[in-house]
Amino acid sequence: MAILITGVAGFIGSSLAKRLLNAGETVIGLDSMTDYYDPTLKQARLETLGTFRNFSFYRQDITDLDALDALCAKQKPRHIVHLAGQVGVRYSLTHPEEYVSANIVGSFHIIECAKRHKVEHLLMASTSSAYGANTSFPAMETDRADHPLTIYAASKRASELMAHSYSSLYDLPVTMMRFFTVYGPWGRPDMAPFLFLDAILNKRPIDVFNHGKMSRDFTFIDDLVISLQKLLNCPPIAGEPLGEFDSLSPVAPHRVVNIGNSDPVELMDFIRAIEKATGMQFQMNMKEMQAGDMVDTSADTRLLQALTGLKPATSVESGVRKLVHWYREFYNL
């Protein structure tokens, strides 16, 4: 019985797939290979997975319900890890319709197929941006998430709510995963860690928003995929909460879990870590805050620890060194 990973050519999807394949799991990968960022990077990630005999790949769009239903009928996945979708806070300001299509319509199709094919556990990617205008940190899964600041955050929150309704109606075990600023080798080129590194190694200036007065709960990719692997075997059971910090629904096997480092880092400290790892210095353009950005993010990870026994602990210094090493090797610098 296989594990279906949507968005398998993406940063997190490919990293998770590789870990599961190395553990002997059978993985079915699905990805539409959009050109939101350089498709050659996605293709390179896929090539690293193609060496495994227990991996199969389907180029499909999650907005095509019939094709998705046929795939699930053929492969009969035991678990689904839904990572596909339109990402990017700033892109959502100019292309909101793509978020409605991918993150709301596409996610609904995944949820519907999970119900139709009696999947044992559906794990779905959400985001720390769901906390929106909240000012209480570290953010707990039980905090209200009713004030999204972008259509990206709103679309992810909508997928959480749709999943809860199906979980309640059809007893479908669902874990929603709120990711906090994931970075590392094979990372997304549209995210700050990759953009900063690309700029410094190619001697270009970087834009630093809010004059650097921001912090992020940077989460190293290896810590995240280990957490996902553990969560696969922790499906929510209705009526069995772990404690007062548990986000388990009172009426459904539905749970929200933060996946972060629980140790926020000032943006300027992250920039200095890149300078140290590269032995170079940035040229910086200090700018005002951008619309839709959050000043700070910080995750309460007690629930993740209770479920998996894990606490992500890779330091920014260590994680950045590994990112720099991969980048120089991949781009022959």
Quickly tell me which residue has 């910086």 as its tokens.
284
Q: Which of 28-32, 59-63, 80-84, 313-317 has the lowest mean pLDDT?
A: 313-317
Nearest to 82 by CA among 123, 113, 114, 29: 123
Find the mean pLDDT for residues 208-213. Answer: 92
Provide the annotated active-site residues. Answer: 152
Cα distances (angstroms) measured from residue 269 to each of 143, 194, 262, 273 = 28, 16, 16, 6
pLDDT of amino acid 311? 85
Residue 256's pLDDT band (cuts 50, 70, 90): very high
Residue 89's pLDDT band (cuts 50, 70, 90): confident
pLDDT of amino acid 197? 94
d(CA 162, CA 205): 42
Residue 291's pLDDT band (cuts 50, 70, 90): confident
Q: Is the pLDDT of residue 5 over 90?
A: yes
d(CA 318, CA 325): 11
pLDDT of amino acid 78? 97
Residue 90's pLDDT band (cuts 50, 70, 90): confident
- Say whether 128 sits in a helix, a strand or coil: helix
Order of strands across the sheet that contains 79-82: 55-59, 27-31, 3-6, 79-82, 121-127, 174-179, 254-259
> Which tens digit of pLDDT belongs to each residue from 6-34?
999 999 999 999 999 999 999 999 999 99
Find the mean pLDDT for residues 62-88. Answer: 97
CATH number of 3-180+221-261+299-314: 3.40.50.720
d(CA 164, CA 313): 30
Find the mean pLDDT for residues 92-101. Answer: 94
For the chain, the structural domain boundaries read 3-180+221-261+299-314
Residue 133's pLDDT band (cuts 50, 70, 90): confident
Structural contact between residues 152 and 99, judged by C-beta atoms closer than 8 angstroms: yes
The structure tokens listed for 155 are 């679309």
Q: Is the pLDDT of residue 292 over 80?
A: no
Kindly state the DSSP code that residue 123 receives in the 8-state scheme: E
d(CA 329, CA 81): 30
Residues of the chain with pLDDT > 70: what percent? 100
Residue 134's pLDDT band (cuts 50, 70, 90): confident
CA 318 from chain center: how many Å?
Answer: 20
